[in-house]
Structure 1
Amino acid sequence: MDSETLILQQTLEVTLFSGQERPLALLAETAVEQHQEALPENCLQVTSGNAAFVDALQKLLAQEQPTCLLLAPPLIPAEKLPKKLQKQYPHLGLHEIALQIALENSAAQSLVGAWLPHGFFVNMSSQPLREYINAAHTPRFIVDYDFSFGFEAAVKMRLLVVQAGKANDQLVRFFRCPEIPVRVNADGQQIRDKARQRAVIKDLKRVARQGGGATEFGYILRDGIPANTPWLFARHHPSYRRHIEDLGAFGGIRPLGELVDIQLGFHPSEQVNVLLPGRDTNKGIPVIEGRDIGADNVLHIEDGRYRALPEKTQKYQLQAGDICLRALIGSDQKLRAALIEAEMLPLVVNNTILVLRPKPEVNVDGRFLTAYLQSDHVVQVLQAQGIARRLYAQSLAEIPVPIQDEDVRAALQALRSAAQTMGEWQAEAQTAIRSLFDFESAKDARAHLLETGRRVRQRERAACQIDDLSYRLRVGLPHPLAYRWRVAETAQPTLEGYRDVLECAESSACYLAFAALVMMRSVGEPVGHLAEMANRLTNRGHGTNFGDWVTILREVRDKKRVRQMANVPFYEVARFLDEPAVDDALSLLKRNRDADAHGRGPRGADIPVKIGENLAALQIFLEAVEFLSEYPLRYVEETHRDSITGVTRYRYREIMGDHVLVPVLETETTAAEVEAHSLYLVDRTEELHLIRPFLTRRECPECGRWEIFFLDRFDQRQGICTLKSMEKGHTIEDDGITAVFQHVNLLA
Structure 2
Amino acid sequence: MTDGTTPHPPRHDTFRRLLELAFGAMAGTDPVVVTTNDQMAIRLRHEWRSYLAESAGGLPDIATSMLRTAPVLLIPPWERISGPPAAAAEETPLRSIHEIVVAGIRPEGAEALLAALLPASALTSPGCRRFREIVDHSWQPCLVIFAAGIFAGVHELFDTAAVFWRPRSSAGQPLKLFRFPRHEDEKAVESDFRRLLGRAGGAGKFGYVLPGPPEAGESLSIELHDPVTTARWSELNVWGTTVPLKDLFAFPAPALHRTADRHLLHDQRQDGSVRVVAGRDLRYDGTLAGPDDSSRWAKVPPDRQLQAGDLLVRRMFSPHARGNLVVAEVAANDLPLAADDSLVTLRANGQLGGPQRLVAVLFLRSPLVRAWAVGLSVAALAPSVLRDLPIPQPDAALAVTIEGLESARSQLESWRDESEALLASVFEDESAVTARRRILESGRQLRMRVDAAALLDDFSHRVRTRYPHPIAYRWSEVQVHLSRGAHEAAYEAILETAEVLLCYTALAVLSLSRDAGLRLGAVDGIRKRLSRGGSNGPGFGDWAAILKEAAESKAFRRTPDGDPLNDFSRIFSAPEAASARQRLAGRRNAKSHLRRVDAIDLPSAIEEAHADLTTLLEHVSFLADLPLVHVTGVRWDTLRRTAQVDYQELMGDNALVPGQQRPYANSDLEIGSLYLANEDGQLHLLRPFLLRRRCPVCRSWETFHVDNTPDASTVTVKSLERGHTDTDPALRQVLEHVGFVE
The TM-score normalised by the length of structure 1 is 0.50
The TM-score normalised by the length of structure 2 is 0.50
Greater Rg over alpha carbons, structure: 1
